[in-house]
Amino acid sequence: MPRDSRYDILFESVKIGPVATKNRFYQVPHCNGMGHTYPKSIAATRGVKAQGGWSVISTEECEIHPTSDVSPYIEARLWDDEDMKRLQLSTDAIHKYDALAAIELVHQGHDGGNRYSRLPVMGVSDLVVHSYDPNQAYAMSKRDIADVRTMHRNAAIRARDCGFDIVYVYAGHDLSLPFHFLSPRHNQRTDEYGGSLENRVRFLKELLIDTKEAVGDQCGIAIRLAVDELLTSDGIVSSTEGREIVEMLAELPDLWDVNISDWSNDSQTSRFSEEGYQEKYTSFVKQMTSKPVVGVGRFTSPDTMVSQIKRGVLDLIGAARPSIADPYLPKKIEHGDLDDIRECIGCNICVSGDSTITPIRCTQNPTMGEEYRKQWHPEIIRPKSSNDGIFILGAGPAGLEAAMSLGRRGHSVTLVESSDQAGGRVLKESALPGLGAWKRVVDYRLGQISKLDNVNIHLESQLDADQVLEFSHELHFQHVAISTGAKWRNDGIGREHHRPIDHDKSIPVLSPDDIMGATFSAPDRVVIYDDDHYYMGSVIAEKMAKAGSKVTLVTPAHMVALWTQNTLEQERIEQRLFSLGITILCRHRIEKVENAEIIFNQINSSSIISMDADALVLVTSRAPNNDIYSALTTLCKSNESSNHNSTKLKTITRVGDCLAPSTIAAAVYHGHRFAQEFDTVLDIDVVPFKREYVEI
């Protein structure tokens, strides 16, 4: 399909110093949980993005010296010449597809802990480190400042020599020395590097000049600056100091990469922000410099991208998360395949990889992070190696992904769903407050399946084991995949309770499934017990509060929605709940329900409290819906012993939450893995992916 002429502007070249892009799609720096530890894996990931049409592909933060060690977090490293070999794997992979490679050099200052290098931590002032490590940074001397400038210059030269086309000076996210020098709350110096804004800008300006002198003849020099910290005091504000910093340095770099700080502000989830949400903070930059400007805002719509450029907001469309969800987003726009774009849902599962020090993953794109390990590709999948057909029961995220991917391989697939709509848990959860974008998981897969003649979906088909076996026989399917999901428990079993809680039925007990049901009506007073610790407890609380309930949310954790620290949402969730008048009680464990009271104990002191309520909602764990699987396997064994060859199946497999309830991302991944590994024989003694080994 030819490209829509409205989007021609997105495919214009932009000059960045001595280099030029092939279009306006720019993958800004983002963490990936692979870094220096898995150089082949991250090179393969970046290569696929270059193949997908991104004109610039950037690294994550790249430590320039052992004094900038952020272990145990896995970032890029360019401490010495040995690291160049690993990084060149990425530049080679990027250049193979005529894209530019950018590197984000960083010295973390007091944001790093030097846990691996065990060197003293240096910072702009005498300050505690950002982690909870019991150590502090010492205030840098003039000699230290000169040394860091040398470190940065040497790293820039190494970056050029291993193939990078754009070199960053990083002053964003409250995560780097240059930003700490800029910040009045960090910079307590009284010399020429402290006090006035001009003095606080000095170090950043020196790094820009140093880098330009060292490699500016061959590399574009970019600055990444957080122009607003969204703080009430002591922070950089775009309308005042943020603007003044840009004005001071306007023509010095070859490219301005602008955003807001900290990371939780810069990478807000779709629950709390819309596409293009950073514009109000960063739009002034382009009016203050003749150099090109790149910015972000979880851009997925080409119309929004064109609008940003035509209105003079940006020159280059920056993306981290959208490039993860769809590495081929630029090519799909270029070729007019807009319906095939795998839009980012803004859930920040990708961010959780860095937070948990594990390789990156994505809800929408199950191949992310598996390009090297499993040789998976987001757009290309190996053809079938047998003519076997597959019967899939359950059209939730796992079932949809399995059906779509098996269909792309060429297999004949019948997908059966008991309800009147496909989508399973995603359909229900996307109707909850703030989670509307999550429906893209269903919409994308249904759109792709509609293009496959070999995949048929049957809705409103409630089947038992006998009927599944009968249909499989009639339709000549040799394999059955059960992806019937899971249901929320209402007995309290979870992390704190391995047995059902004592309950005399004096108070109604509900589960999230009840709240998401069509017949939900809000009780006057409700207690929510959250032992799940992800988003569900807080979203249910928000829904019930907005419906008029007086809500108390109780959790045994030390903070509400504990795991959402990994998706950068925890503070916003807590703020949202408080704004709705929801009472939060942490470190309390439910004991029992009796005589119309809910009894809790305080975990640290064992003191007892009781609460009155009209309903108790238990958000604890989910039980797999595996009854049909159990019945079907039993039936097949019975038939086998009776020699009923006509009803034999080759395989019966549980997929997604039906096997092991987890995140939507995990369900999609499992559905994809089932499709990829179907009709192959796996050796249990062989690791099912390629490993990267430390050289010895």
Over residues 168-215, the pLDDT tens digits come to 999 988 889 999 999 999 999 999 999 999 999 999 999 999 999 999
Under 8 Å between Cβ of 167 and 156: yes
In the predicted structure, residue 322 carries a pLDDT above the cut 80: yes
How far from the centroid of its chain's Cα atoms is residue 556's Cα? Answer: 26
Is the sign of the CA dihedral 187, 190, 196, 200 positive or negative? negative
Under 8 Å between Cβ of 42 and 58: no
Could you report the per-residue pLDDT of 288-310, keeping only the tens digit for each? 999 999 999 999 999 999 999 99
User: Residue 126: which residues within 8 A CB-CB, separation 6 or more?
Assistant: 136, 137, 138, 139, 188
How far from the centroid of its chain's Cα atoms is residue 652's Cα? Answer: 32
d(CA 139, CA 188): 9
3-class DSSP assignment, residue 21: coil
In the predicted structure, residue 233 carries a pLDDT above the cut 80: no
3-class DSSP assignment, residue 123: strand
d(CA 267, CA 324): 13
Tokens matching residue 37: 């530890």
3-class DSSP assignment, residue 29: coil
Instruction: Report pLDDT for 644.
Output: 52
What's this model's pTM, rounded to 2 decimal places? 0.95
User: Residue 696: which residues within 8 A CB-CB, separation 6 or more?
Assistant: none
3-class DSSP assignment, residue 609: strand
Tokens matching residue 585: 């009680």
Pick the catalytic residue: 30, 130, 173, 533?
A: 173
In the predicted structure, residue 645 carries a pLDDT above the cut 70: no
Mean pLDDT score of the chain: 94
Under 8 Å between Cβ of 97 and 44: no
d(CA 296, CA 305): 10
DSSP result, 644-660: -GGG--SEEEE-GGGTS
Count, residues in the chain: 696
The burial class, CB within 10 Å (0-12 / 13-18 / 19+), for 95 is middle
Q: What Cα–Cα distance (Å) separates residue 663 from each residue in 108, 349, 363, 387, 660?
A: 32, 9, 9, 32, 10
Parallel/antiparallel/unpaired status of strands 413-416 and 608-612:
unpaired
Candidate from 1-15, 467-481, 492-506, 585-599 with smallest mean pLDDT: 467-481
Could you report the per-residue pLDDT of 28-85, keeping only the tens digit for each? 999 999 999 999 999 999 999 999 999 999 999 999 999 999 999 999 999 999 999 9
Phi, psi torsion values for 131, nearest 5 degrees? -75, 180
Sheet holding 509-510, edge to edge: 509-510, 615-619, 525-530, 550-555, 583-586
Angle 108-113-117 from CA coordinates, rounded to 5°: 100
Dihedral through CA 687, CA 688, CA 690, CA 693, nearest 10?
Answer: -20
Under 8 Å between Cβ of 509 and 419: no
Nearest residue to 27 via CA among 296, 225, 254: 296
Instruction: Report pLDDT for 132.
Output: 79
Tokens matching residue 5: 């002429």
| Residue found by looking up tokens 């929004």 in the block | 304
User: Would you place residue 403 in the very low, low, confident or very high pLDDT band (cuts 50, 70, 90)?
Assistant: very high
Prior bond of 262 cis (ω within 30°): yes
How many CA atoms lie within 13 Å of 202's alpha carbon, on the beta-carbon side?
Answer: 15
d(CA 557, CA 559): 5
d(CA 572, CA 575): 5
In the predicted structure, residue 647 carries a pLDDT above the cut 80: no
Let me know if 126 is a catalytic residue: no
Phi, psi torsion values for 542, nearest 5 degrees? -65, -45
Nearest residue to 539 via CA among 603, 613, 488, 599: 488
Under 8 Å between Cβ of 502 and 591: yes
**Percent of all residues in the chain with a pLDDT value above 70, rounded to a whole number:** 99
3-state secondary structure 546-587: HCCCEEEEEECCCCCCHHHHHHCCHHHHHHHHHHCCCEEEEC
Rg (CA), the chain: 27
**Secondary structure E strands in 192-321:** 220-228, 255-260, 293-295, 316-319
Q: Domain 5-355, what fold?
A: TIM Barrel (3.20.20)
Pick the catalytic residue: 170, 328, 372, 535?
A: 170
Pick the catalytic residue: 31, 162, 344, 347?
A: 31
Outline where 285-411 has alpha helix (H): 302-310, 321-325, 329-334, 349-355, 397-409
Q: Could you tell me the residue ranges of all domains in the chain?
A: 5-355, 390-485+625-677, 489-623
The CATH architecture that domain 390-485+625-677 belongs to is 3-Layer(aba) Sandwich (3.40)
Tokens matching residue 566: 């990994």
Nearest residue to 560 via CA among 590, 589, 586, 526: 586
Under 8 Å between Cβ of 363 and 672: no
DSSP result, 76-87: EE-SSHHHHHHH
d(CA 588, CA 610): 11
Let me know if 31 is a catalytic residue: yes
User: Residue 469: which residues within 8 A CB-CB, separation 6 or more?
Assistant: 632, 635, 636, 639, 647, 649
Q: Please, what CATH class does the domain formed by 489-623 belong to?
A: alpha beta
Instruction: Report pLDDT for 239.
Output: 83
Pick the catalytic residue: 210, 262, 266, 340?
A: 266
User: Would you place residue 642 in the very low, low, confident or very high pLDDT band (cuts 50, 70, 90)?
Assistant: low
Could you report the per-residue pLDDT of 336-376, keeping only the tens digit for each? 999 999 999 999 999 999 999 999 999 999 999 999 999 99
User: Would you place residue 640 in the very low, low, confident or very high pLDDT band (cuts 50, 70, 90)?
Assistant: low
Could you report the per-residue pLDDT of 235-259, keeping only the tens digit for each? 888 788 999 999 999 999 999 999 9
Could you report the per-residue pLDDT of 596-634, keeping only the tens digit for each? 999 999 998 889 999 999 999 999 999 999 999 999 999
Q: Which DSSP category does 356 fall into?
A: T
d(CA 99, CA 574): 42
Nearest residue to 51 via CA among 447, 397, 367: 367
d(CA 416, CA 394): 6
Tokens matching residue 458: 């049957």
Is the sign of the CA dihedral 474, 479, 482, 483 positive or negative? negative
User: Would you place residue 94 in the very low, low, confident or very high pLDDT band (cuts 50, 70, 90)?
Assistant: very high
Nearest residue to 482 via CA among 684, 660, 680, 663: 660
Could you report the per-residue pLDDT of 458-502, keeping only the tens digit for each? 999 999 999 998 888 888 899 999 999 999 999 999 999 999 999
In the predicted structure, residue 557 carries a pLDDT above the cut 60: yes
